[in-house]
Amino acid sequence: MPEQGWTLLVGLSGVVAGALLSGAFSLVGSVIQGRREQMRWARAARLQAYGDFLAALDTWMDLLCTSWVEHVAAGESVEQLEARGEVIAEEVQRAQSRVVLLGPDAVRNCAGRYHEAVLDRIHSTQAAGNVSTVLAIDLEPLRRSRSLMLAVMNRSLGLGPRD
């Protein structure tokens, strides 16, 4: 092969190698960017799901504990509260479903335990019969369960301390 052919071949192979490397780096960059965007979406979706779940449980507990006691103490009917409680219970289930779909196992487990603690509080309050018995209900299991759930949720979102 004449010298000119070798020069042309070496020059073209450099161009081809450069194009292949450029394409490979571009592909790797696209994959990394896609993963980052997916992680951002998942974090935002989890944050929304966790907030909705907490808000639904707080509303449910407020309605079926605080408002319940106020109505019973005033001698008023609780039928409307029970009906609204059923609607909010469905909202709690939907919110917890999103937590189950989006959250890691630790969050799912803590959310389930907190949901059970809220149910226990609601049942204890409604079974108490009078305000003094309601005031004697031990709220520590509920507080511990919520505190643990918040810590695990924060960790899954990359917030707070990383013990």
Residue corresponding to tokens 């020069």: 7
Whole-angstrom distance, CA of residue 46 vs CA of residue 75: 42
Give the up-direction half-sphere exposure of residue 127: CA atoms within 13 A in the CB hemisphere: 7
**With the CA atoms of 67, 73, 77 and 83 taken in that order, what torsion angle do they form, in degrees rounded to the nearest 10?**
20
Whole-angstrom distance, CA of residue 95 vs CA of residue 21: 47
For residue 130, give both structure tokens: 């009078």
The rounded Cα 149 to chain-centroid distance in angstroms is: 10
Who's near 96: CB < 8 A, 6+ residues apart? 53, 111, 112, 115
The size of the chain, in residues, is 163
Helix or strand (DSSP H, E) at 75: none
Choice between 71 and 4, residue whose per-residue pLDDT is larger: 71
pLDDT of 4 reads: 66
CB of 124 within 8 A of CB of 138?
Answer: no
Q: Please give the radius of gyration of the chain, using alpha carbons only, rounded to the nearest integer.
A: 29
Chain segment 114-162, per-residue pLDDT in tens: 999 999 999 998 888 777 888 888 999 999 999 999 999 999 998 876 5
Per DSSP, 126 falls in state H
pLDDT of 9 reads: 66
| pLDDT reading at 2 higher than 70 | no
Chain segment 78-118, per-residue pLDDT in tens: 888 888 999 999 999 999 999 999 999 999 999 999 999 99
Whole-angstrom distance, CA of residue 60 vs CA of residue 68: 11
Give the model's confidence band at 163: pLDDT under 50 very low, under 70 low, under 90 confident, else very high: low
CB of 72 within 8 A of CB of 86?
Answer: no
